Amino acid sequence: MIRCSVLVALLAAVCVATVSGGQTAAVKSDQQILIQLEHDWDAAFRRRDVAFIAGILAEEFVATYGDGTRGDRDEELSRAATFDQQIDSSTLDEFIVKIYGDTAVVWMSQHLLGPSKGKPLAVTFRYVDVFVFRDGRWQCVASQSTRVAA
């Protein structure tokens, strides 16, 4: 019995030493994960990484674009695959992330810089993205973009 108690004490000490040995992994909050997901989605769109975007979009995804039209998941993936505009810079900021159980809403701004007809162009969009947490990951079910008037 004493041998078992000593063994348990040694195992507990090893576990404590391993955890406190300076190898602490930073745990990200859902807000941080969603903000990173938005950044990754933006970068994937510009490099036409359809496979990555397909992993973010839920099967029932619906987008409402800046011109008022709507598109489903297939439309969004098609837009990503055929994206051919030169973007010199894309910056995301002004994040507001609210979590409601297994649902999250992300509000953000996107600032794009790039040429248009030989001249520099700066455009800002505001987004509202709705995510659900399922199958161990956040999936976007809805997105709406609005172009901010210059």
Residues 132-149: tens digit of each pLDDT: 999 999 999 999 999 998
Whether 53 is in a domain gets the answer: yes
Whether 3 is in a domain gets the answer: no
When divided into structural domains, the chain yields a total of 1
Whether 24 is in a domain gets the answer: no
- The tokens describing 87, both together, are 């973007």
Whether 81 is in a domain gets the answer: yes
pLDDT band at 14 (very low <50, low <70, confident <90, very high): very low
Whether 25 is in a domain gets the answer: no
Helix spans in 62-139 (H): 73-81
Q: How far, in Å, CA of 118 to CA of 127, rounded?
A: 27
CATH number for 82: 3.10.450.50
Per-residue pLDDT, 24: 62
Query: Which residue range is the domain that position 109 belongs to?
Result: 30-147
Q: Would you tell me how many other CB atoms lie within 10 Å of the CB of residue 110? A: 19
